Amino acid sequence: MSSVRVLAGTRKGAFVLTSDGARRNWEVAGPHFPGWEVFHVKGSPADPNRIYAAQHTDWFGQVVQRSDDGGRTWNAVGNDFAYEGETGTHLWYDGTPHPWEFKRVWHVEPSPSDPDTVYAGVEDAALFRSTDGGKSWGEVSGLRRHPTGPQWQPGAGGLCLHTVLLAPNDPKRLYTAISAAGAFRSDDAGESWRPVNRGLQSEGFLPEPDAEVGHCVHRLAMHPARPDVLFMQKHWDVMRSDDAGESWREISGNLPSDFGFPVEVHAHEPDTVYVVPIKSDSEHYPPDGRLRVYRSRTGGDEWEALTEGLPQRDCYVNVLRDAMTVDTLDPCGVYFGTTGGQVYVSPDAGDTWMPIVRDLPAVLSVEVQTLP
């Protein structure tokens, strides 16, 4: 019988949550790396026993951990993220030039075909790649060297590269997203990049309506069977592209708020999309104190609230950008974690929800592995 393994990164360690395919009864293991912020934990699609974890504290810096036994034991691998060549500058909050400085890894993205190849999105924004299982890291420097790089300016959360998407139909195509620079695409395995932000509107803080960069993209998602269709949760606005990012249109429709962080796509229905509306950029909690996942079965524009099993009063948690995911069972399971320490699962594509755990440290990321 199939099973699932949920990998939760939290403000004070990582947890591994396991269940059989029914997804009703769960075992909780952890904390791994207690006391450390774990921004992201993700397993290799090519070898589910291979898992990478990004742990960090302001005291001791960055550590990358690797498990080769499905998260039972871990070993630290390489943590030297050296920018390639002359690092140059980006813009600081006050608009002055500021040198690129490595702070932390936000996201790890293992290759779909090679367990030893893994990408890391870091702050200050850059993309790194390892081809030796995380022992050493080299910058994919074409992204940071894009001519717009000196204009990139951090958002409140830092100049972080938080999203890496690898196109399943083309090993040379990669997408990244950076707060608050925007989305970028490479068609040559990372050698060169270009912004793919046409159609994004950021009237509140970008006076130029067609600004090439400067858009606060919070998350990108795609369905592997339809990789040219992208969904985006922007700072404000939920967006869709049908041409691999060449152009975007808004699909916020009837959402109660189009601010939010994660966006995910159903594993078997490319037009079924999930978001978690958050009230505003200054009030990082659900509108009306009601925790609602919104699902569109039409690829956007029309959304339904999913509430059964979720708190519908006095709920003031946030759901961060890497803290939502789906499994590949049928029916599709949907998972998300909150800054209040809950990890919720819906074993029926969002119709009903239940907490797997209620009292973890603030959840920073949630990933799931579907195991045979």
Q: Which residues bind another protein (CB under 8 A)?
A: 34-36, 57-63, 76, 79-83, 102
**Nearer residue to another protein within complex by CB, 103 or 297:** 103
Least distance in angstroms from the C-beta of 11 to another protein: 8
Least distance in angstroms from the C-beta of 58 to another protein: 5
**Nearer residue to another protein within complex by CB, 61 or 147:** 61
CB 328 within 8 Å of CB 293: no
Q: How far apart are CA 63 and CA 33, in angstroms?
A: 10
260 CB-near residues (< 8 Å, 6+ apart): 218, 233, 238, 275, 276, 277, 278, 319
Please compute, for residue 122, the number of CA atoms within 13 A of its CA located in the half-sphere on the CB side.
33
Q: Which two tokens stand for residue 83?
A: 């920018």
Least distance in angstroms from the C-beta of 102 to another protein: 7
Least distance in angstroms from the C-beta of 281 to another protein: 22
Least distance in angstroms from the C-beta of 56 to another protein: 10
Least distance in angstroms from the C-beta of 162 to another protein: 21
Q: Which two tokens stand for residue 335?
A: 């998972």
CB 125 within 8 Å of CB 195: no
> What does the angle CA 258 – CA 176 – CA 324 come to, to the nearest 5 degrees?
50
Q: Residue 209: which of 196, 219, 199 has the closest Cα? A: 199
Q: Residue 347: which of 24, 81, 86, 41 has the closest Cα? A: 24
**Nearer residue to another protein within complex by CB, 103 or 284:** 103
CB 327 within 8 Å of CB 355: no
**Nearer residue to another protein within complex by CB, 59 or 314:** 59
**Nearer residue to another protein within complex by CB, 34 or 150:** 34
**Nearer residue to another protein within complex by CB, 65 or 325:** 65
